[in-house]
Amino acid sequence: MAKRVVVIWKDSCMAKKTQQRPAPAATPPDLETEVANRLRDPFEQNYMGVIQTADPLLLEKGDPAGEIYRDLKRDGKVFSGLQKRKLALVGREWQVVPVQDGDAQRADAEIVSDILKRCAFDQVCQDLMDALLRGFAVSEVVWTVRDGYYVPLRIVKRAQRRFKYVQAAEHQPPELRLLTKDNMLTGEALPPRKFIVHRVNPEDDNPYGTGLGLQLYWPVFFKRKGIIAWNKLNDRFGSPTPWGKYPRNAGPKEKGTLFAALKAMSNDGVLMTPEGMAIELLETKLTGSVTTQQSLCEYMDDWIAEVLLGQEPRTSGGGALAAASKERSAVRLDLVQADSDLLSATLNETLLAWICDLNGLAPCQVYREISEEEDKKAESETDVNVAGLGFELSEEAVREKYGEGWSKKQAPTTVPPSPSPPAVAPGNNGPAGPVNFAEPSSTDAIDALVNEALGDWKPAMKPFADPLQAALDASQAAGETAAQFLDRLPDLLAQMDPAQLHALLTKAAATARLAGNAGVGDA
């Protein structure tokens, strides 16, 4: 009866869920279609389907190819910041993992990893990272067959100015085209699985992306102008301005001669006036220690560093500076991790997908683990403290933390003491116990006597030690206390025979007296 009630309750619950579930839509949504694509944008001018860049600076300068951004690399601060972003990514280890776990999938991932190692994969990543500045980067894959697999023979970086995006139909994605001498407007169609395109900040579905050059152009521009003004100021204060006077009746030849002499004396400006003409200089009250231009250049460098590395301006010192340095390091790691994730997504959708599809391998992905380098010293100190609590690291954990090559230290083996050689009487040539080379050989006989006396102690103490040990064992078995055992101890000692011990003590005293007398005589 209870089982039937449970079944009825389950049926009623299922009926309620069925009643609460919304009815399916009358018409399914359109699949794989875009409504607000770029071709329908009334603010776009797509002549013959050619898509223009959305970068406002490039449109203002009339340079859709973005060659003005390439010129920014001539600035040392920009180049240094880009190198830090690129090399920090390339310097990390990469690995290939299968999308689905399994022995066969892991074997395919090993094959893909070997293929990438043989095509300068780090250089490919560094080339594609050029999209940071320009917005997008293009590399061409040159395929070949090696060991029965379709593999990249080399991957070549191509100039961005040679490519255009064209969208011919509304429901198709933009197509990358190659500009040639025969077709400089829409370009030529490209074969599939041939070109890798990495984009940064593709705003409003802009296939060209928006690089950091948009934010770096003006600080570099003002910095260059500031350096020019700085150099002129240094030249002005470094040497006086020459002033030449020519007679009023001087002709063009004389004036030219004077001007050439003045120019030979100065790299900047000169003055020429007729005799008797007065010139009054309005001084600007500036001195040779003016730092206005220097401050301007440093401000622009801080601007560039903040755009590229997220580095805030240098406005503090001491502990605040140390905290800011730690924060900059964390921000830089976050930037490198983001660069790595975005680049890995591009490579997984293109290069790795092509390799797996062409060779019938399981789908694989590549990624880089970006993390702060561990402080080995701090970790070792922590391990020592934890070991003091009674814990012990396994060999696998030690190798994982500190690298290969570590093994368990062997415990030192205890060598039992060798038995003393038999002593001989004085005058014999046999062994007489351990020899002390620091003493003269005349004391060998005395050492033999001492060794002989020491050798008799163990059998002499046996009549005392054995009964005492037997009594201790019996007391422990009977569960006696220490007080009860001490009460029985006098009776136990009365049963022992000390005659042999007395004889041994007398012999030892005589031997000690003989050794003492011999030592005094030698002295």
Q: How far is CA 403 from CA 91, 376, 399, 410, in A?
A: 18, 11, 5, 19
pLDDT recorded at residue 286: 58
Q: What are the Cα distances from residue 151, in Å, to 214, 241, 354, 418? A: 37, 68, 9, 70
Q: Which of 125-129, 166-170, 214-218, 483-487 has the lowest mean pLDDT?
A: 483-487
pLDDT of residue 1: 45
The reported pLDDT for the residue numbered 515 is 63
| DSSP-derived secondary structure for 157-224 | EE-GGGEEEE--STTS--EEEE--SS-SSS-EE--SS-EEEEES--GGG-TT---THHHHHHHHHHHH
pTM of the model: 0.61
Helix (H, G, I), strand (E, B) or coil at 139: strand
Say how far apart CA 402 and CA 423 lie, in whole Å: 56
Exposure b/e, 249-276, CB count within 10 A at least 16 = b: ebeeeeeeebeeebeeeeeeebeeeeee
Q: Which residue has the higher pLDDT, 114 or 520?
A: 114
Residue 459: its H or E element: helix 457-478
Cα→Cα distances 212→75, 130, 245, 305, 392, Å: 14, 10, 54, 12, 51
User: Minimum mean pLDDT among 50-64, 317-331, 399-413, 494-508: which range?
Assistant: 317-331
pLDDT above 70 as % of the chain: 69
CA distance 315 to 321: 8
Lowest mean pLDDT, pick from 8-17, 181-190, 210-219 = 8-17
**Is-contact 365 352, C-beta < 8 A?**
yes
With cut-offs at 50, 70 and 90, classify the pLDDT of residue 382: confident
Task: Convert the pLDDT of each residue in 32-44 to its tens digit.
Answer: 777 877 777 787 7
Domain borders along the chain are: 63-151+194-279+288-371, 374-404, 441-522
Residue 74 confidence (pLDDT): 93
pLDDT at 370: 83
Q: Which of 49-53, 114-118, 444-448 bottoms out in mean pLDDT, i.e. has the lowest? A: 444-448
SS3 244: strand
For the segment 197-210, the average pLDDT, to the nearest whole number, is 87
pLDDT band at 159 (very low <50, low <70, confident <90, very high): very high
Q: What is the pLDDT of residue 65?
A: 84
CA angle, 448 as apex, 444 and 452 as ends, to 5°?
A: 170
Average pLDDT of the segment spanning 457-462: 67
Beta sheet of 188-189, edge-to-edge order: 50-51, 163-166, 175-178, 188-189
Query: What pLDDT shows up at residue 430?
Result: 47
Q: What is the pLDDT of residue 441?
A: 47
Q: If pLDDT is split at 50, 70 and 90, which confidence band does 5 have? A: very low
Residues facing 95 on adjacent strands: 367
Q: Hey, is 283 helix, strand or coil?
A: coil
According to DSSP H, which parts of 210-318 are helical?
Answer: 213-238, 252-265, 292-309
